[in-house]
Amino acid sequence: MHLLVVEGAHVEPELRRKFGPGHTYDFCSATAPDLRTRLSAADVGFDLRSWPELHYEQPRQPLFYDTSRTSLAALFHKEEFPLGPVFGICAFPTLLERRILETSLYRPEDSASLAAICAQLGTAYCTVQDQVGLVTPRMVCLLINEACYALQEGVASVRELEATMQMNLAYPCGPFKWANQIGVALVYEILEALWQDTHEARYKACALLKIMYLRGQQFTV
């Protein structure tokens, strides 16, 4: 398959490893003057912008949208629905390369199309509810946010929290290293989107994390 990936440079190596060399890839800027031409040549499109807009081109190809910070329901609220099927994915650095692709549906009747496309892409997949943050992003961001609260309150040091999460709980890395790999800004933005969507206190970003985001800083691990 030929995959068009809009604004996906930050996850290009991960996407290539995920789907493998049996496909061709076109990593395209959202401002590319020939975007429509490049879309017409693709078998499937991945729009990884924070507010995806590829559906305005009215493609017939299946489209995958990054719904880490929005939902398909919000994306298409009062919008004309695209001609082809659309799906949400977790386009989350460090999580795209997992064996199972996390997806969501806007229309239940597109489930058969999703199964066929994932078979062509060569990936196992699971379908979760169409909600901001899907499942894995919200869990990972909550974990990082709680670690920030613990650090802010002096419960433990960065080193101690890293060791606790990585060694004692068998996470792939500690919360602060994970936040750096994902991007502190993305972690904050997902939490903010979850807070705006639900107004649940657990999604309120820690002040320390917000300061790191505003200053464009990473954690020293």
Terminal C-alpha separation, the chain = 40
pLDDT score, position 169: 65
Give alpha helix (H) positions in 56-201: 72-75, 111-121, 136-152, 158-163, 175-182, 184-198
How many angstroms separate the CA atoms of 130 and 52, rounded?
15
Q: Which residues of the chain have pLDDT under 50?
A: none
Q: How does pLDDT run across 97-128, given as a tens digit for each residue?
A: 889 999 999 999 999 999 999 999 999 999 99
Token duo for residue 60 = 């017939």
User: Yes or no: is domain 2-128 CATH 3.30.1600.10?
Assistant: no
Torsion angle in degrees (nearest 10) through CA of 183, 57, 62, 4: -50
Environment class of 21 (CB within 10 Å of its CB; exposed 0-12, middle 13-18, buried 19+):
exposed
Domain assignments of the chain as residue spans, ordered by start: 2-128, 136-215
pLDDT score, position 221: 87
Q: What pTM value is reported for the model? A: 0.90
pLDDT score, position 173: 85
3-state secondary structure of 89: strand
Torsion angle in degrees (nearest 10) through CA of 7, 12, 15, 16: 130
How many angstroms separate the CA atoms of 217 and 162, rounded?
18
53, 112, 156, 189, 216 from 90: Cα distances, Å: 17, 20, 31, 14, 23
Q: Which CATH architecture has domain 136-215?
A: Orthogonal Bundle (1.10)
Environment class of 156 (CB within 10 Å of its CB; exposed 0-12, middle 13-18, buried 19+):
middle
What's 206's DSSP letter? P
How many angstroms separate the CA atoms of 121 and 100, rounded?
12
